[in-house]
Structure 1
């Protein structure tokens, strides 16, 4: 069974991830055992995949894996993560939980975290991106996954896009093609011909 966790959620660089590649972790004690038991319990819980509970459990799993990764790297970071790093992680979790809200904006995100919009932009800028592009990327990835599900075979591209917060189907189609090289309809049809 494979679990994919982006490096940014673990607070590590790509180089650190490569250094850990192929590392065997014992599941008989310590953090390794905790992570092993937790991830094993998640396997087969398909009904959780698209639920709020499932998203919360995913975040908990990421926290545990992050703890294990820090241990495997030999030590915790030389200095504790800055408040900005922790705040950015909380903001990303908030965005994940509210991706379907078409009214989500930098203003609403900042308000939910009691920070200024300027500080919000600074957090994302320091991480090499912008709030808008982060939200857009996560929404596009969610749409791509939904369009590839056999259960969504009869759903229109516009309905999937609207479900994930895109107000304009044509704007969504342009963004999707730019990101993935095919139109949403082409992607949807290609996934069904492969199943």
Structure 2
């Protein structure tokens, strides 16, 4: 009799993965309904977003996952995952020995969001989705073969992630990195008014990974989200400080420069410049100097 190498692990009454997570025979792939509380150095976990809101803290920024996106997870670093209401993810537990991952390689792939819409990510996501959905495969010889095929695909995906990072680091020589950063900043300036401007859209427009995008800005002492936010604030500040613009509302200016929430804009503006947007605007209208030189943010 062939012993299944892929089984779905049920949840206990407390909602956590049961002791079936650690059977005597580790198998190739086990499908979990939740990430376990504790990890095991012999296994790697891959999470696939099914529905609801899920975000990853990646390179200092919060990156949202879309349905069918996947990410390599470490139970010991579960704080990098933020689950919203009605969130559902499927987790796959794979013995690390099948992937040939060293500790340094593991650190480089953990937490990297893999989009379901392109490249190997699309192939792996589609395959794992079908594998998880076909319950009849879980205890059959066919299921064992499919599980091994999934591991082969994951091995290729890991290789691609590592090679992409290595290639980007090579391209990240000082001159090349500086030129790329300059082009990205120009792109940001041209698209500041678009509310959906994000690290993902910026990276996609420049044919680089989000990871490399974050590295470029980190090397410059900031993050891409901080840069976008500051440039939007500077644009709002300039517009609100124009005396010819006295009738324009704060909400209108915030909306024009990509802030979806006027209240959030007001808080962010005050944190940056020491006064509210309306106070800034009133100071400019009063003719008592220029707010562009009176704000504490300008020193």
TM tier, shorter chain? 0.5 to 0.7
Describe the superposition over 1:51-76 as per-residue Cα deviations: whole angstroms up to 9, x where unpaired.
Answer: xxxxxxxxxxxxxxxxxxxxxxxxxx
Quote the residue 1:125 is aligned against: 218
Secondary structure at the aligned position of 1:142 is classed as helix
Describe the superposition over 1:81-121 as per-residue Cα deviations: whole angstroms up to 9, x where unpaired.
Answer: 52111000000000011110111000000011000000000
More strand, by proportion: 2
Residue 236 (structure 2) aligned to one of 114, 124, 143: 143
TM-fit CA distance, 1:173: 0.3
Quote the residue 2:279 is aligned against: 186
Describe the superposition over 1:124-163 as per-residue Cα deviations: whole angstroms up to 9, x where unpaired.
Answer: 0111000000000000000000001123211110000000
Is residue 262 of structure 2 the alignment partner of residue 169 of structure 1?
yes
Matches within 5 A, 1:72-91: 82-91=175-184
Structure 2 unpaired stretches of 5+: 1-172, 289-299
Structure 1 unpaired stretches of 5+: 1-79
Aligned partners of 1:152 and 1:176: how far apart in 2?
18
Matches within 5 A, 1:104-123: 104-123=197-216
Q: Which has the larger radius of gyration?
A: 2
Distance 1:81 1:121, change over 3 A: closer
Matches within 5 A, 1:146-161: 146-161=239-254
- Structure-2-length-normalised TM-score: 0.38
Aligned partners of 1:104 and 1:182: how far apart in 2?
26
- Structure-1-length-normalised TM-score: 0.58
Give the total of aligned pairs. Answer: 116
